[in-house]
Structure 1
Amino acid sequence: MNEASLLETLKEYFGYESFRPLQKKIITSVFVGRDNLVIMPTGGGKSICYQLPAILLPEITLVISPLIALMKDQVDGLNANGVPAAFLNSSQEEADKEAIFQKIDRKEIKLLYVAPESLQFVDRFLTNGKISLIAIDEAHCISSWGHDFRPAYTQLGYLKNRFPSTPMLALTATADKATRNDICRQLNIPNAKKHIASFDRKNLSLDVRQGIKRFEQITDFLKNRSSESGIIYCLSRKNTEELAAKLQRKGFKAEAYHAGLDHQERSQIQDDFINDKKQIICATIAFGMGIDKSNIRWVIHYNMPKNLEGYYQEIGRAGRDGLPSDTLLFHSYSDVIQLQKFASNARNQDVQLAKLDRMKQYSEALSCRRKILLSYFGEYLEADCGNCDICRNPPEFFDGTIIAQKALSCIFRLKGAEPIGTVIDVLRASQNEVIRRNNYQELTTYGIGKDISWQHWQQYLIQLINLGYVEIAFDRHNHLRLTEQAKKVLFDNEKVPLADIKEVQAQAKTEKTTIAESSLFERLRKLRLKIAREEDIPAYLIFNDATLKDMEKQRPMSDSEFLMIEGVGRKKMEDYGYRFIKEIIAFSKEKRETKKPKKTKKGSSLEETLKLYKADLTVEEIARQKGVTRNTVFTHLMKLYDEGKNINLKRYVGKSELKSVKKAKKKLDNPNSLKAYFEHFEEAISYENIKMSLKILEKE
């Protein structure tokens, strides 16, 4: 598949001019028939890696997805972009399923979403060769090493055996090394090409605070965020209900969400949040996996999560549109005790407890939090991020190079085969059973750190893990191992700054300015919400916040300009362009009227068009003289008409056309969609004439 064709499809259906990092590489790999494992953070553009090939591949693409809400969301989004997609699950009536099967037989569907539990529904019609691609979304659910293990996923290994020549694409936002290998093994794709995107979500601000007076801190945090959507994650159902009730009493549109509510109630709450009818959801971790809402501006963890994978995935639900967003984590000793109780009942208890310990270390860290998160997923960040509470208000540091060299040398001598406790015991010359049994007293590093207390060594080693010099092998009994970065300290004398353990400074509060109610962004947001209510779809499926921001910046006033906006494809331009352009023109006009009149530039493009119009030139003559297209001339004339200039649009629209458009306006289900008129007239009336007719009718 050539690059021009891929880019054309990307713009046509998804509205983007270029691919994000790794997307093109993954898509190309799919087209040559390879299996692939994709580790890409939430909001990184995973879905395009299978949705775009699905449009171009000859047969259907099968997508395995864990949640009904997630399927519905994705299918709605695809249909809004003009891509035929459907989903099958146990909640549907037989008649609905039969209708989908018939569409598949007629090759009218490009993507079919199925829950792993519902695979038996598709067995009856899918044979090898009838499927062009199999995509396994949330692939970490297959692994017991993962943070969200789902038994139904373990049956998916049979798919590769049944469809050996069909490429498989396994995708997840979070997976450590052990989980990645386990996914490939269980899906029977041992030779899958691994694509690991950067986990660095620069737009997310990271903040961790002690769990003291949490409600007061939350209301303070929300003070300047009255129009923004956010999620507060809690450990228990009771917490979600109490917190939602308290926030409601303070005037916030908050709602509790947990597994104890009935299905209908949960669906309603989720829909209200997606459609911006509710601003805040206080939820257990059951909430969010099925949410594709791109304009969640903040995420708060009322309690500490049980592991870094879950934490990273949950904060990743904020700022999926790439705009600045905030995260806040509260932690306390009682949270740790509660989570330890949960972990002790799990079948992989040791792994869960070790990962909880790592989460605790992150919460208590004294070094850049983004560095810690990235190093956990095997990514090294050179400089501190500047966008976390530690970077904004750093502790006191000292030159800890010698301490680091002692610790790293000891791990090296132990051949990466011992956990943190044994490493400290060797450094401090302890005499216990493990030391004697393994003859560790013979090592050259035995006792080289006896002048430092056990607790301090623990803190220093945690800092070295957080800085990316050491990693914990969870699938190898939590042994400490050196990373590539450690060589720089051991052999190149790289300096290691360590935080003074006694100096833990207070965390700074992040302040944020509110978006002015009078901004164009706010006007476009309100228009988007209005259209969303009319069409009964989530607002972000129309355009996400990043696209509205680009509109605010670029101020498009014609179809061709509107198509240049990031996130606007052909179908969305046809469906919504007219109303958004109209709003932008109205806003610009109001701003001009409130400002002091400025002298217009001599010979400006609009002024030239007006001059030529007054000279009785035809549209074709104006276009030729100015060296522009007919469409640009019509756009100028309509803009001048909006500005109140003496333009007679009836010169270009016949009486019969105007009458037809007037009739259609009363009849059509969606009288605000240009495409609806265009299709109604079976393309007999041009887009320009429809737009001009609507403008004339509007004024009349």
Structure 2
Amino acid sequence: MLTDPAALLRSVFGFEAFRGVQAQVVERVLAGQPTLAIMPTGAGKSLCYQLPAVALPGCCVVVSPLIALMHDQLRSANALGIRAASLTSVDADWRETQDRLVAGDLDLLYVAPERASGDGFRALLDRARIALFAIDEAHCVSEWGHDFRPDYRLLRPLLDAFPDVPRLALTATADAHTRADILTQLGIPAEGLVISGFDRPNIRYVMQPRDGLKGQLREILAANPGPGIVYAPTRAATEQLAEALGQSGRSTRAYHAGLAPEVRARNQAAFLASEEMVMAATVAFGMGIDKPDVRFVVHAGLPKSIESYYQESGRAGRDGDPATAILLWGAEDFARARQRIGEVEPARQAGERTRIMALGALVETAGCRRAVLLRHFGEDPPPFCGNCDNCLAPPASIDATLTAQKLLSAVHRTGQSFGLGHIEAVLTGKSNDKIIQRGHDRLSVFGIVEGEEVALLKPVARALQVHDALTTTEHGGLALGPAARPYLKGEERVELVLPPAKARRSKRDNSANPVDDPIFDALRECRRDLAREAGVPPYVIFHDSTLREMARIRPMSQRDMALVSGVGERKLEAYGDAFLAVIRQFA
């Protein structure tokens, strides 16, 4: 017999009302209808299967791509009083877990797609009562997705073997093509698609050309308190950045697939437990992290695609509090991305070129960043969001088509083998030995750039590389790219975005305690102690938003504490008295 979903929402999760499309998804699942839910990170996707898992008789099987993600969600589920376990290669209690499943003693069972698609697992489920199949990170099922996992495409036989069990697929990132592929691969009808939108209004988007990376990162860390992630393009870069940023006094660690497993596990655990640590990592770090209080994510290089950027930047601000996503890019990123196109099979090359062009449009726009992102996912956003760098400090733009023609002409006339420094020297009329020896002082392009136009050469070269009109040779020289001809002839305009001389300071405080409330700090200290004692990250106890509400309401009894958002019955029983004792000290 089903329990009222609204009553479970209050008693188990501590919330008075569903958010966004949660109610619609939960209603469909409880009615046995197959569903694909597209919900942005931080919108409460896990609740959409956790609540039915408690409400329905039997066990909900959750297919998840990473062990770290499973164990993170396992901790949170157990803290809510939900009977949960996982069957992974590192779980020593697998026999006990199987016995609990068969005995009906589990609400949630987390498994990887490799295990879920095997015959042995299907035989195990035949002996148990299954309430729901939940396929998390469902974009992994699609070859068009940015995190394709072949084993996800083997799940359909398992789902079809239990025709009376509802199936729920969830993801934060899927364009129209990927959504259609997910529906087909998992046997979900088109009417089962539920989209809540892709907007993350609490995230501020900032994009800048790289210019002294370590200095830029130090400035970012100084301006952004709280936990953060810096994504670097290589393993070596993560360790170099972690060491450099650690010299600023901030706690930092590195994470990449080349580290020993015990080192990765130790660094990840330290990050989850910390309220200020910065993790310098490759993109191998993130999907398995359910940490809600990440206050900023920095990309120190170009992501693979807009989908990847949305997914990775979306790891900031999962708790709904203000967060920042910063992308530092260089023209060489686009050159390397185009070189990698030749490494993929021919059928995918056109799609990869489209992805690079979409990224180019995002980093070069003078308009709203959020609008570009949301239009990519098929939405029709307003032209102004008020929470990205371009909306907060609108940049000027100038027509640099003539400068682009001069630059391309100089590259062509000097033989397409010299770097930008030499090209600039030719264009600005500098007669050094190298120029005189090669006769470049006698070229028609010698000295044709002067005055304020000189400052445009570097950003114009960067823009031309983004648009594949300029490429780099293997020795670092510049050469005309496949798209050079229309720019050289002036048929394509180069609209150059000029960032404001000084970025407008945010009026918003991204710190956890913007009003400097001593009760909040004391509650946080209490949370740290409880988390240390329980061996879990602090956010598993309560989110910052819950502590801020406690500080504002100042409950004096268990009954009052139960009214605070995020305080369910299990957490009230386990932690209520400890936090009440702190609040009473300030009465």
TM-score, normalised relative to structure 2? 0.79
Considering only CA atoms, is the larger Rg found in Structure 1 or Structure 2?
A: 1
Return the alpha-carbon distance in structure 2 between the equivalents of residues 503 and 161 of structure 1. 53
Q: Are 2:397 and 2:496, in contact at CA under 8 Å, matched by a contact in 1?
A: no
Compare 114-123 and 135-144 and name the one that shifted more: 114-123
The equivalent of 1:321 in structure 2 is: 319
Return the alpha-carbon distance in structure 1 between the equivalents of residues 156 and 277 of structure 2. 40
1:333 to 317, 331, 334: 331
Return the alpha-carbon distance in structure 2 between the equivalents of residues 91 and 99 of structure 1. 14
Q: Are 1:35 and 1:191, in contact at CA under 8 Å, matched by a contact in 2?
A: no
Q: Deviations over 1:399-447 (max 9, x none)?
A: xxxxxxxxxxxxxxxxxxxxxxxxxxxxxxxxxxxxxxxxxxxxxxxxx
Q: How does 1:363-402 map to 2 (within 5 A)?
A: 363-396=363-396
Q: Are 1:128 and 1:163, in contact at CA under 8 Å, matched by a contact in 2?
A: no
Compare 341-350 and 325-334 and name the one that shifted more: 341-350
Q: Deviations over 1:273-329 (max 9, x none)?
A: 001177010010000101111111111111111111111111111111111111111
The equivalent of 2:359 in structure 1 is: 359
1:552: Cα distance to partner? 1.9
Return the alpha-carbon distance in structure 1 between the equivalents of residues 560 and 177 of structure 2. 48
2:498 to 500, 504, 525: 504
User: Residue 299 of structure 1 aligns to a residue in which SS?
Assistant: strand
Q: Are 2:103 and 2:128, in contact at CA under 8 Å, matched by a contact in 1?
A: no
User: Residue 326 of structure 1 aligns to a residue in which SS?
Assistant: strand
User: Residue 223 of structure 1 aligns to a residue in which SS?
Assistant: helix
The equivalent of 2:71 in structure 1 is: 72
1:238 partnered with 2:225: no
The equivalent of 1:475 in structure 2 is: none
Q: Are 1:562 and 1:568, in contact at CA under 8 Å, matched by a contact in 2?
A: yes
Q: What code does the residue aligned with 2:113 have?
A: P
Return the alpha-carbon distance in structure 2 between the equivalents of residues 90 and 242 of structure 1. 32
Q: What code does the residue aligned with 2:368 have?
A: C
User: Residue 318 of structure 2 aligns to a residue in which SS?
Assistant: coil
The equivalent of 1:305 in structure 2 is: 303
1:129: Cα distance to partner? 8.1
Return the alpha-carbon distance in structure 2 between the equivalents of residues 380 and 128 of structure 1. 48
Q: What code does the residue aligned with 1:270 have?
A: Q
The equivalent of 1:268 in structure 2 is: 266
Return the alpha-carbon distance in structure 1 between the equivalents of residues 375 and 129 of structure 2. 42
Return the alpha-carbon distance in structure 1 between the equivalents of residues 223 and 529 of structure 2. 24
Q: What code does the residue aligned with 2:372 have?
A: I
User: Residue 54 of structure 1 aligns to a residue in which SS?
Assistant: helix
Q: Are 1:255 and 1:278, in contact at CA under 8 Å, matched by a contact in 2?
A: no
Structure 2: give runs of 5+ residues left out of the alignment: 399-459, 467-492
Q: Deviations over 1:331-360 (max 9, x none)?
A: 111111222233432232321231122112
1:154 partnered with 2:148: no
Return the alpha-carbon distance in structure 2 between the equivalents of residues 300 and 291 of structure 1. 16
Q: Are 2:134 and 2:169, in contact at CA under 8 Å, matched by a contact in 1?
A: yes
The equivalent of 1:170 in structure 2 is: 169
Q: Are 1:524 and 1:580, in contact at CA under 8 Å, matched by a contact in 2?
A: yes
Q: What code does the residue aligned with 1:273 have?
A: F
1:114 to 89, 111, 114: 111
Return the alpha-carbon distance in structure 2 between the equivalents of residues 502 and 222 of structure 1. 29
2:278 to 277, 280, 284: 280
Q: What code does the residue aligned with 2:278 have?
A: I
The equivalent of 2:101 in structure 1 is: 104
Q: How does 1:507-546 map to 2 (within 5 A)?
A: 508=503, 510-511=505-506, 513=509, 514=511, 515=513, 519-546=518-545
Return the alpha-carbon distance in structure 2 between the equivalents of residues 192 and 49 of structure 1. 18
Q: Cα gap change, 1:21/1:354 in structure 2, threshold over 3 Å: closer, same or farther?
A: same
- Give the RMSD, CA atoms, in angstroms: 2.3
User: Residue 132 of structure 1 aligns to a residue in which SS?
Assistant: strand
Q: Are 1:129 and 1:166, in contact at CA under 8 Å, matched by a contact in 2?
A: no
User: Residue 536 of structure 2 aligns to a residue in which SS?
Assistant: coil
Q: Are 2:104 and 2:128, in contact at CA under 8 Å, matched by a contact in 1?
A: no
Return the alpha-carbon distance in structure 2 between the equivalents of residues 338 and 396 of structure 1. 29
Return the alpha-carbon distance in structure 2 between the equivalents of residues 242 and 342 of structure 1. 24
The equivalent of 1:584 in structure 2 is: 583
Higher relative contact order (CA 8 A, sep 6+): 2
1:371: Cα distance to partner? 0.7
Return the alpha-carbon distance in structure 2 between the equivalents of residues 102 and 291 of structure 1. 29
1:385: Cα distance to partner? 0.5
The equivalent of 2:206 in structure 1 is: 207
Q: Are 1:294 and 1:545, in contact at CA under 8 Å, matched by a contact in 2?
A: no
User: Residue 206 of structure 2 aligns to a residue in which SS?
Assistant: strand
Q: Are 1:136 and 1:171, in contact at CA under 8 Å, matched by a contact in 2?
A: yes
Return the alpha-carbon distance in structure 1 between the equivalents of residues 505 and 344 of structure 2. 37
Q: What code does the residue aligned with 1:156 have?
A: L
Q: Cα gap change, 1:26/1:518 in structure 2, threshold over 3 Å: closer, same or farther?
A: closer
The equivalent of 1:433 in structure 2 is: none
1:59: Cα distance to partner? 1.3
Q: Deviations over 1:360-383 (max 9, x none)?
A: 210111110111111111111125
User: Residue 26 of structure 1 aligns to a residue in which SS?
Assistant: helix
Q: What code does the residue aligned with 2:192 have?
A: K
TM-score, normalised relative to structure 1? 0.67
The equivalent of 2:139 in structure 1 is: 140
